[in-house]
Amino acid sequence: MAALKRLIQEYKELTLNPPEGIVAGPKSDNNFFEWEALITGPEDSPFDGGVFAAELVFPQDYPLNPPKMKFISEIFHPNVYLDGRVCISILHTPGDDPLGYETAAERWSPVQSIEKILLSVVSMLAEPNDESGANVDASKMWRENRDQFNKIAAGLVKKSLGLT
């Protein structure tokens, strides 16, 4: 019940004060634990102008644990697995990183919000972390052949807009 109450409150806040370039909300009025989002690619990034669809699935113990986030739109990015799952620190379970890569402060905590997740994903689109690649090919291309990476991203922007 606490999770549902929190999700309803966050939805109200997102509706009243939506972050620029982001639209998000429950897929249906009957299930506040499954959301859809549209994220506009950030300006001056390889994804500038694209509109990318994603879904968030919240656990029953939200906000104690983070949601899972996955792009539905095709995206080629160092921090997005081939199946669309987003890999960023804020979506990792709370506490210390067993691998010692992230600090506990970088990972999920109950004070985070859906808005913060979505803004973090926008930042991730603009500035990938190629040191922690979920997509090794995209990470390598981002580091070694930025022109080719940008060309692929531009094609995906067009595809996201239904232009190809």
Q: DSSP label at 34?
A: E
Q: DSSP label at 8?
A: H
Q: DSSP label at 127?
A: S
Following DSSP, what letter does each residue of 72-118 receive, concatenated?
Answer: SS----TTB-TTSBB--GGGSPSS--TTSSS-GGGS--TT--HHHHH
Active-site pick, 14, 86, 87, 153: 87
- Is residue 86 within 8 A of residue 70, CB to CB? The reply is yes
Catalytic annotation on 87? yes
* Catalytic residue numbers, as ranges: 87
